[in-house]
A and B are shown apart, each in its own frame.
Chain A
Amino acid sequence: MTTTTTATEVSSSDLKSIAQFVENRSAILCPEDKYYLFEARLRPVLRKHEVADLGVLAAALRTGPAPALAEAVIEAMTTNETSWFRDVHPFEAIKTGIIPELVAARGSTKKLAIWSAACSTGQEIYSLAMMLDMQFPELGNWDVSLHGTDINLEVLAQAKSARYSALEVNRGLPAQYLARYMERDGASYVLSERIRSRAKFEQLNFVGPWPVMPRFDLVLCRNVLIYFDIDVRARIVRKIRDTLSPGGYLVLGSSETSIGDVDGFSRVVFGRTTVYRKEAR
């Protein structure tokens, strides 16, 4: 199902229309200070339904959108929320399989570099940072670098600030971590400086030129590739492969179990999670 493709500029009244539509259909409130999330969440919907931009989408929602478009908007705004330790099992695989293996393999250099390739507001990379701090005290004297990238500058700004609402900290952050690593500041929760300072963030558009990247031992690129066509997906996976050290791991989203025909990886299963290990050449 497609709709008009004429591009228009998005205005605050358009954003309000989208918020109103989501609220009417799902009862999920979208306050103005969260409007910046619309672009990141709805971008894949715009692409899939061939809608030029948020202004066009707002117009379509006001005049009665096609059911498939309406459903996609609601789904994007209500189920794609970033949560801490999202999907649980990949983090179990990282904790019980990947990190112990990397710790053993990198013991001579004591260096570990991890990249959250579509980091959104930071929950994924900070979940890892807290997990490493709590579960792997032996990494205390290692050089552990944590990188987060996203196309959206506004989500990156929140990631850098590491400031979250109660609604956000409720989403999957275990109470032990909440008590140990979050400090309350008015109505917000701020991740402790000790953890926050370990992560660096920068903008990256997967289909644009990539900045110079360090070599990574673990890359998480979850729930992003599904929005690209198969050729672009393969191109991105090849570029990620080239950033990985031999023996390094790529973790995809739980519904993205295939890397297509990209070579140079072995498929490894940890419990309920399938990941990809870059082969040594």
Chain B
Amino acid sequence: MQAMVIDDSRAMRAILRRIVTELGFDCTEAGDGQEALDKMKAGEVPDLCLVDWNMPVLDGLSFIQAVRGTAEWRHITLMMVTTEGEQAQIVRALAAGAHEYVIKPFTPDAIEDKLQLLGLVGVRA
């Protein structure tokens, strides 16, 4: 399984990369939504995107809308990972097509729990 971490913070990308790599994903990174879209158009299409909300050039919500608007990318699982914790924002992200939502700060277990809910990783015995 291929994951893409999309976040303008290099430190956050490194943290998320380490978590999903330990869960068995191959991982690529992008520094904003537009860079992610460019990589995907060039053929680097992941199964899972972990997307920050507030990023330069193209924000996470616009990225999700762009992915959901493209038929051949409908299979991609989209998980918002953001400091935006207001209920209204969560509702907006889900309405735009995000499958899951993690509020920063989070523990590595939180990412694993959500991926279990999505059926992308198994439940540990």
Tell me the A residues contacting B by CB distance below 8 Å: 28, 79, 81, 83-85, 87-89, 166-167, 169-172, 174-176, 178-179, 182-184, 254-255
Contacts and interface: CB of A to CB of B under 8 A. Distances in A.
Given A88-B116, A167-B110, A179 B86 contact: no
Interface in B73-125: 85-87, 90-91, 93-94, 98-107, 109-110, 113-114, 116-117, 123, 125
A134 B105 CA distance: 28
Given A172-B117, A174-B117, A184-B85, A167 B90 contact: no
A175 B125 contact: no
A255 B90 contact: no
Interface residues of B, number: 25
A17 B110 CA distance: 26
23 contacts: A81-B109, A83-B113, A84-B113, A85-B117, A87-B123, A88-B117, A166-B104, A166-B106, A170-B114, A171-B107, A171-B110, A171-B113, A172-B113, A172-B114, A174-B117, A175-B93, A175-B99, A175-B101, A179-B87, A179-B91, A183-B87, A184-B86, A184-B87
A37 to B, nearest CB: 14
Nearest to A183: B87
A170 B117 contact: no
B109 A178 contact: no
A80 B66 CA distance: 39
A36 B1 CA distance: 40
B110 A170 contact: yes
A248 to B, nearest CB: 25
Given A28-B107, A172-B117, A254 B125 contact: yes
